Structure 1
């Protein structure tokens, strides 16, 4: 007798349910905030309905896909033709299946090539995040974006900031709903001793996890930390991430003579990353706007908060949805290193980071996926 796999058993359990289609340019195992978000949405929706994902093909995708409790169809080929190929495959799926309950898209470009008839045959939901909609009104990209989003029933903004930006860019306000990104409950698989060894008895222990680009505000943060060193010479700042600004930041660290205080980790296992976040005194990423690029929400702040680690974030963008100023962390103008410095001193006074961390952890519970996914289900009305 052939034994059924867990995935096959799950399919039998959900065989009577309708299917939710997800079309996305961003999906695990490719790493990034959007990739994690879309994969989390698929995972948590699959607890309530059958889910089929149309995603880009990447290295090691097969190993990841076979372990999921939902179906993933990978789109192969050159980047330019993938969007057409994906649209054709989704069209074929709709033609062959009448049990589709909703279509969810990660980006307006993911539904741009889909027909209006397809999108309006079921509730179509598109997520927006900030950078991808921040085009001048009347520009070709702005017009393409609005035409694409006109095919949707709902538009999901990841923060109050993103909603207001969308309205400013001409997107229909009545369609916009705010659903912040979610997070899973704490992963208890941490190795605090390994993390503490890296921090090496530092006071305080500071961390950031991000792609190293100008909008993260790290250049001004390093200047603020140079002044901070005069009062806290044993601080240690762990920077986890990679990106185009890495070499510039490393050179700046050398010029500021902060090599003994600052450690760059291009990669870290999930276990080590979570351990470093959990044992840190606070997280810092005072984001700024660079051209059209701006932080729509800042899921890293949420990841830190659930471990009881408060954050210093930037006023630009949507950080205020997760950082409550003077409660769960601090907000400042990331363009001004003196404001960052004042936040550093403020959060250290009487170990204020401890009480802020407790409040941040409590606040993060509002973002757990069991609550956030219900907001999607309410829109889909399964």
Structure 2
């Protein structure tokens, strides 16, 4: 019997997000007759840790905040000790190999850029190192930081881009190419998404209702969306916008909600382990980001048959065909305002989108995607 290919995925934690969804999907579908898979987490933390398949060899360097004491002084002491421990392990990676992993790997995977340094610096040079890159990286105020990140990518044996657009932006803005790379779209859990959407019922108090799922950060464009929402209310076009997610912009968004007096119509629902019933219960979905790569949420919303308004950023145009299964707009207050108005007022257009999305499964053939991933791993071990 051929020896299995040993693969290590090295990730920070399992807080809910697009990268974590991709990772879980990969772990659930990888052929364990061919591959021996280990997942190493820096912290065993996050809403999605319960979704890690039981047949995957799970290792973690430290416990998560969920396991810390609820007594504040003890909690902060545990947090300090954890941070010191992780810093020590980062400086002396031999300890990770010696006491946590205890074996070598054929392939080490960094699922996102936060793991680049750990994967590049911590493991045997004989291991093939793979980077997954999902980020829409553009020239701007972080030009120097972007260059540092892009140069780290060159050190990997292979780079996987989440969309053609993600790779093209690097070439167009930085004139950097990656000969040892390929584009593999993020796999979608079609049946799992639909099953989760039926787990419980959500009833909104008003209609029409738009929902958006995403981390509360500036890149998601919720401040701009909120202003467009306020403008429409001023014109007598009533609707509700629900935001599912949490993050560093939460307090700023709360202040903006009070400032615009939209407490009853622009509502922050917080993070949800299962956001799909909330998407299913809404009339429409809206993505207002000023940058994205190939967001899994778009695919999941399409799978659930919801009409989508999305800013035309990242690889979203590779998922949505304009006026066929969604509405692509520029990132601006006016464009968001017009698009929301269109969805509310043009029933025929919305019905057309819903009808076209009934065949959306053909667009997300998971078998092809997982075959691409497995073939890539096999090819790397032959080089």
Q: Answer yes or no: same fold by TM over 0.5.
A: yes
Alpha-carbon spacing, 1:247–1:60, altered in 2? closer, same or farther (3 Å)? closer
* Whole-angstrom CA distance in 1 between matches of 2:103 and 2:322: 51
SS of residue matched to 2:44: coil
Among 339, 342, 346, the alignment partner of 1:343 is 339
2:189 equivalent among 174, 184, 205? 184
What is residue 249 of structure 2 aligned with on the other side? Answer: 245
Partner residue of 2:281 out of 279, 282, 296: 279
Change (3 A) 1:132 1:209: same
Q: 1:83 aligns with which of 76, 80, 90?
A: 90
Provide the secondary structure at the position in 2 that maps to 1:177: strand
Structure 1 residues 103 and 330: alpha-carbon distance in aligned structure 2, compared to 1, 3 A threshold: same
Q: 1:253 to 1:68 in 2, by over 3 A?
A: same
5 Å-filtered alignment, 1:179-218, equals: 179-185=184-190, 186-191=193-198, 194-195=201-202, 197=203, 199-200=204-205, 202-218=206-222
Q: CA deviation at 1:318?
A: 2.9
- Normalization by structure 1: what TM-score? 0.78
Aligned-residue offset at 1:163: 0.5
What secondary structure, in the 3-state scheme, does the structure 2 residue paired with 1:238 have?
A: strand
Supply the distance in 1 between the matched residues of 2:130 and 2:52 (Cα, whole angstroms).
26
| Aligned-CA RMSD value | 3.5
Task: Provide the secondary structure at the position in 2 that maps to 1:173.
Answer: coil
Aligned length: 352
CA contact (8 A) 1:84 1:113 kept: no
1:36-55 to structure 2, matched below 5 A, reads 36-47=21-32, 49-55=35-41
Distance 1:115 1:337, change over 3 A: closer
Provide the rounded CA distance (Å) in 2 between the counterparts of 1:119 and 1:132.
Answer: 29
C-alpha spacing 1:174/1:268, structure 2 compared with 1 (3 Å) = same
Cα distance in 2 for residues equivalent to 1:138 and 1:213: 20
1:38-79: CA deviation from partner (whole Å, max 9, x where unpaired):
232222225552211222123479984886211022123534
CA 1:116–1:267: 2 relative to 1, 3 Å: closer
2:6 aligns with 19
Partner secondary structure for residue 286 of structure 2: strand
- Deviation of residue 127 (structure 1)? 0.7
Unpaired runs of at least 5, structure 1: 1-13, 289-293
Decide whether the 8 Å contact of 1:217 with 1:286 is kept in 2.
Answer: yes
Contact 1:120-1:153 within 8 A present in 2 as well: no
| Superposition map of 1:293-308 within 5 A | 294-308=291-305
Structure 2 distance, partners of 1:223, 1:137, is 27
> Alignment partner for residue 18 of structure 2, among 33, 39, 50?
33
Within 1, Cα distance between the matches of 2:145 and 2:339?
A: 41
Equivalent in the alignment of 2:160: 156
Contact 1:108 1:145 in 2 (8 A): no
Over 3 Å counting, the alpha-carbon distance change for 1:123 and 1:320 in structure 2 is: same
Taking structure 2 as the reference length, the TM-score comes to 0.78
Report the secondary structure of 2:194's partner residue.
coil
What's the counterpart of residue 70 of structure 2?
A: none
